[in-house]
A and B are shown apart, each in its own frame.
Chain A
Amino acid sequence: MNQPILIVGAGPAGLAAAHALARVGQRSVLVEKEDRLGGAPILSGYAKLVPSGEWARDAIGGMVQRVESETLVEVRKGVKVAAFDGAPGNFTATLSDGTSVRAGAAILTTGFTHFDSLNKPEWGFGTFPDVVTTTQVEQMISSGQGVRCPSDGRKPKRVAILLCVGSRDRQIGREWCSKICCTVSANMAMEIREELPDCHVYIYYMDIRTFGLYETKYYWKSQEEFKVKYIKARIAEVTSDGDKLIVKGEDTLVKRPITIPFDLVVHAIGMDPNVDNKSISSVFGVDLEPHGYLGRGNFYGNTAETSRAGVFVAGAATGPETIDDSIAQGSAAALAALGALQPARASA
């Protein structure tokens, strides 16, 4: 029998790859460094997902259960791949617990790391308790607690969502658009308005990039049905007058400086390359692209290739990516890896 396929990372892309392989009778070994499967949507406690509106714990939780019940998927939690040697059809991965796994091919679905807002200190995160990230607001919603000011638990009357925190910013070396934050923020603004109808939500933007069909479903809907207000301004700093957070910037459309009080300021944090990408790159012998994500070897003939034969990549490991596209890429990578095993099979 042919070698199993090694899948590294059990987020949406990795789960999709493992499931796809199992469906066609191919064994796989799914390695996850955390002690839970599900990746960012589960580990970071996302609430309702774009674009289906399903809760992350149901949608991605369902994918986890499906994979855990597959006999053809061997799940290895709480371990990393420490070394990876061999050639296509006959790789050996040494795991951090000392065990080793033989694999015919590997799929890297190692995902991303949320931007750490401490790297933009002028926007008050870490200084003022009522400056939070989109991830924290997702947790407030998914836990059932509701959107509250962390300082005293009160319901905010006015919320500012700052877009492009950790994205599109040469000052901090983030020269990319994180792709999903505009849509996620518009969705979040509507969720806040739904839970707290008396709370006004302002989104400070440089551009609004609710791409494709998200235009009407998120951007237009948030304006037309939920009266979310969009202000074209890059915020200069977030301070406090002791009572409220003070947001300063320039409202570019009226050419005037603004100094506006808010109860809660939310950073729409971007998607950084996985902090482990340098070691992933050296362990697996794959190149990184200039932004620090895993490089893709081929954009048209086979989208899942890396710079090393027999090692494939999918999902947000390759750059900011949506959950549904990560799932599609996971399935595509599964097929690519399966194809790569064919010569080995024929000769076996």
Chain B
Amino acid sequence: MRYVIALPFLWLGIFFLLPFALVLAIALGTNAPDSVPPVDLGIGLKSFTLLFTDDLYLAAWLTSLRIAATSTLVALLLGYPMAYAIARAAPRRRPLLLMLVVLPFWTSFLIRVYAWMGLLDENGLLNQFLRWSGIAANPGTILGTEWAVQLGIVYAYLPFMVLPLYAVLEKLDVSLLEAAADLGARPIAAFLTITLPLSLPGVVAGCLLVFIPAVGEFVIPDLLGGTETLMIGKVLWDEFFTNADWPLASAVAICLLVLLAAPIALFQRQQARGPEPARERRR
């Protein structure tokens, strides 16, 4: 029995703590291009100081946060009505609607991002359609811009927004909305004072589930973005594979982890406390 309980700790120890210690050790070492692996172990903060002093990295951080934040907001604005509609649909139709939300997962993530390349390319389906229909004779190319990255992130992570929102909205007692209406609340007031505050845990969960992976996203900016869209995940990849600077890449990874641990901890605390004691907005 005791060993069964130890299992998750063993798992975390082998597959998280040990690799993390390795990455930390590498980050504290110095770059040694001629040795294998290209690291001289030691205790130095050179890689970290570089991260915080070089404008390139700071810019990459800010771009990542900005893109992740906007994508999260857009996903929330799209996902909330979707989740609401599914939660209010006839019970026998909900499984089908939920399956449609999850359906893209049945295809590989990478293939779906490639599909967007085919859509957004200069001679992609989108531009072909625009030219054929006469809406725009000379449309620009979305592929290779930040727009394409945002679009890709929203597309890829929308289900992670919809599912937790659906979970809270589906549980929402309809009689609460009837009570609000009965007490004189118009539908919009009932939404703002009852539905929205009670769905806040789902909003927080959905936003974190989109924001956290979006910040470190590498595949989407690499394939859909251009050279000017510098996200931190791409910087990490470049440092590791192109520049073979393992300590710097490791330092980026550790900073990313620390940065994302904060919202996760916030989320956990909020979950442990139960529904947010949101106060009604005062007039």
State yes or no: do A and B come from one complex: no
Question: Interface of B with A (CB < 8 Å)?
Answer: none
